[in-house]
Amino acid sequence: MEKNLNNDKKIIDLTYLIGLSKGDNGFVKKMITVFLEETPKEVDVLEESVNQTDYEVIKASAHKLKSTIPFIGLDKIIGKEVNEIESLARENSGIENIRASFKKIKESFELASAELEAFMLNN
């Protein structure tokens, strides 16, 4: 059953959530609902701060994303970029690299959200 739940996912990996849920599919869906509600706001804050080159907010918001992405296995896809953004912002530098990494982060979030929505419909 766990394998079925986790099939055909290109970006997301629900192994961690499903493992912790001990078969409580309602919990997995609840966590995904919270993820879909909360993370777009976090990505928006990061985007705004990247557009404004506000290193303080970039740093804080990348840090927050870092603890959110492992829930759906997204750390394997964009963990490196999120870490890079946080490190660069801590040094108040590298806005061009931050922009490039953010582009990948945003694209991955969009794909992940679509996959999560499909998962919610199918389970």
Partner 1 sequence: MKETSNIKENIGKIKVLIVEDNVLNQKMASFLLKGLGFNNDVCVNGKVALDKIKTTNYDVVLMDVQMPEMDGYEATRQIRNELKLHMPIIATIGNTSEEEIKKCLANGMTDVISKPLKGDELYAMINKHLFPENVSENVNGSELD
Binding site for partner 1 (CB under 8 A): 16, 20, 22, 27, 30-31, 34-35, 37-38, 60, 63-64, 66-68, 70-71
Instruction: Kindly state the smallest distance separating residue 95's Cβ from partner 1, in Å.
Output: 22
Say how far apart CA 50 and CA 36 lie, in whole Å. Answer: 22
Cβ distance to partner 1 smaller for residue 38 or 117: 38
Distance of CA 61 to the CA centre of its chain: 12
Instruction: Kindly state the smallest distance separating residue 30's Cβ from partner 1, in Å.
Output: 7
CB atoms under 10 Å from CB of 51, counted, come to 10
Instruction: Kindly state the smallest distance separating residue 96's Cβ from partner 1, in Å.
Output: 25
Say how far apart CA 57 and CA 87 lie, in whole Å. Answer: 13
- Cβ atoms of residues 104 and 38 within 8 Å: no
Cβ distance to partner 1 smaller for residue 20 or 118: 20
